[in-house]
Amino acid sequence: MSYQHYLDQRKLILTVATTGGVHGKDANPNLPEQPDEIARQVRECEKLGAAIVHVHGRDERGENDPERLQAVNDAIREECDDIVIQNTTGGQSPYENRVAGIRTDPPPEMASLDMGPFNRGQHIITEHTRHNIESLAREMKEKGVKPELEVFNNGHLNETYRLIEKDILDPPYYINVILGPGTFTIPTPENLLNMVNNLPEESHFNVLATGPHQLPLTTMGAILGGHVRVGMEDNLYYDRGEPAQSNAQLVERSVEIIERMGRDLATPDEARDILGIE
């Protein structure tokens, strides 16, 4: 994907990540946690043009709970028209929690697949061993779940090539380039460009950037012919010091910018076509 794709007005897939596993309502009370409130916000975002929703499950106290993924999936299907559900397999630590994201009934059309570990807090490294990553990828392939390959840094791009060489992934590869603090890629335009220049053939990329980097770097991703993810999982603020009122508020702003730049949003069905989801 390239600037030429932007000039050619290729369709852009907008993903909304409403909830995540890091922040709670204590940080922003507008962040949805329970299945019904997540589904209502997803519906608003779908109406604005989001084609994919990235999903995490929380228990009643706001803590991560992969068993809640089923209830969130059910509520989204009930509330929304056709949005593509992408469950997380990354947010929770042990393998049995990760794999819960692809064992819902029915399985989601997509799931995230972290390409390696990253730091959490002061002492924790997420347990993404190569063995676990390959097991998840193989089960996704068996079930027809399209992986969104989470590339938190340059090294994870090496890991992506490794999986491609081992023939574990099917093209087109959907790569989420993640920029932010800690062990994520340092969030600068130069680094985004560098990541994009290093992508494998036959890939589509999506840009995820945290906090104040969400708006500028996703906009840059759109100019580079990529796709965009926004939402309160990655950014709790609408502006400096101004907490986001909802996921829809963040989605609406991105949609306006993307459309003004002359790119059309992909519908959920067009996103399925672009990504080879059957």
201 scored as a contact of other proteins (CB under 8 A) = no
Contacts with other proteins by CB under 8 A: the residue count is: 22
* Least distance CB 232 / other proteins (angstroms): 13
93 scored as a contact of other proteins (CB under 8 A) = yes
124 scored as a contact of other proteins (CB under 8 A) = yes
Residue 15 neighbours by CB under 8 Å, 6+ apart: 50, 51, 52, 53, 54, 86, 206, 227, 228, 229, 230, 231
209 vs 181: CA distance, rounded Å: 9
**Cβ nearer to other proteins, comparing 26 with 167:** 26
If DSSP codes are grouped into helix, strand and coil, which group holds residue 198? coil
* Least distance CB 184 / other proteins (angstroms): 15
278 scored as a contact of other proteins (CB under 8 A) = no
243 scored as a contact of other proteins (CB under 8 A) = no
22 scored as a contact of other proteins (CB under 8 A) = yes
Residue 184 neighbours by CB under 8 Å, 6+ apart: 118, 152, 153, 178, 210
DSSP single-letter state for residue 72: H
* Least distance CB 28 / other proteins (angstroms): 11
Sign of CA dihedral 34, 238, 250, 152: negative
* Least distance CB 98 / other proteins (angstroms): 11
**Cβ nearer to other proteins, comparing 218 with 247:** 247
* Least distance CB 261 / other proteins (angstroms): 35
How large is the greatest C-alpha to C-alpha distance in the chain, in angstroms? 47
88-96, 189-197, 202-210, 235-243 -> range binding other proteins (CB under 8 A):
88-96
Helices (H) and strands (E) in the chain, counts: 10, 12
Among 15, 18, 41, 64, binds other proteins (CB under 8 A): 64
CB atoms within 10 A of CB 7: 12
Q: Interface residues with other proteins (CB under 8 A)?
A: 21-27, 29, 58, 60-64, 92-94, 120-124
